[in-house]
Amino acid sequence: MSTTMQKEMWIMGRSRLTNQLGNIEEADLLKQVRPESNTAGWLLRHIAEVELLFAKNVFEKALNIKAQTIGSMARDRGQFTDLQQLLDIIQRAEDELGAAISAVDDWSEKVTTAEFGTITKAEALGRIMTHTAYHAGQLALVIKYGEVNKSRDT
C-alpha cells in the first residue's frame, strides 16, 4: 500500500477524534463517567502525547515531548482544563505524525520499541490508529454521559 493511501487511511481513522473537537466545551474537560475514570481533558492530552511519541519513537521524527499521561506517575488529577491548549497539542500531534507518515518510503521496515517489540511501520500505523480511535470513543462517552466530580482530589 502506498504512503498516500496509508495517510488517507490514518486521516479517516483519526476522524473519530477530529469530528468531535468542534463540539467540546471547556466545561466538558472535567467530566468523567465514574469518579475513578479519566476526565475528557486527560483523554485529549493522552491521545496527543501518544501520537507525538509515535512520531518520535516509531517514525523517527526529532521531537521534544514531555509525557504527562503515560507511565507509573501519570495520574489524572483534573489538571487538563485549558481547551485551547489541548486543541493546540492535538493539532501539533496531527501535524507531526502526519508529516512523519508522509516521509515513510518502506512500510515493511521494522522498528523496535519497548512498548510493543519489533513490528513493521505498517503495523505500527495500525496500532496508533486503533489507539486514537479507542480513546476517541471513550471521549465521546465521557462528553455525552459524564459529569464533573465535585469531590475530586486534585
Write down the pTM of the prediction. Answer: 0.94
Report percent pLDDT > 70 for the chain. Answer: 98
Q: What does the chain come to in residues? A: 154
**Predicted local distance difference test score (pLDDT) of residue 153:** 56
Residue 40 and residue 37: Cα distance in Å, rounded?
10
The CATH-assigned architecture of domain 3-148 is: Up-down Bundle (1.20)
Residue 29 and residue 20: Cα distance in Å, rounded?
13
- Per-residue pLDDT reduced to its tens digit, 28-76: 999 999 998 999 999 999 999 999 999 999 999 999 998 999 988 889 9
**Predicted local distance difference test score (pLDDT) of residue 151:** 73
Report percent pLDDT > 90 for the chain. Answer: 88
Looking at residue 38, what DSSP letter applies? P
Give the up-direction half-sphere exposure of residue 115: CA atoms within 13 A in the CB hemisphere.
11
**Predicted local distance difference test score (pLDDT) of residue 73:** 80
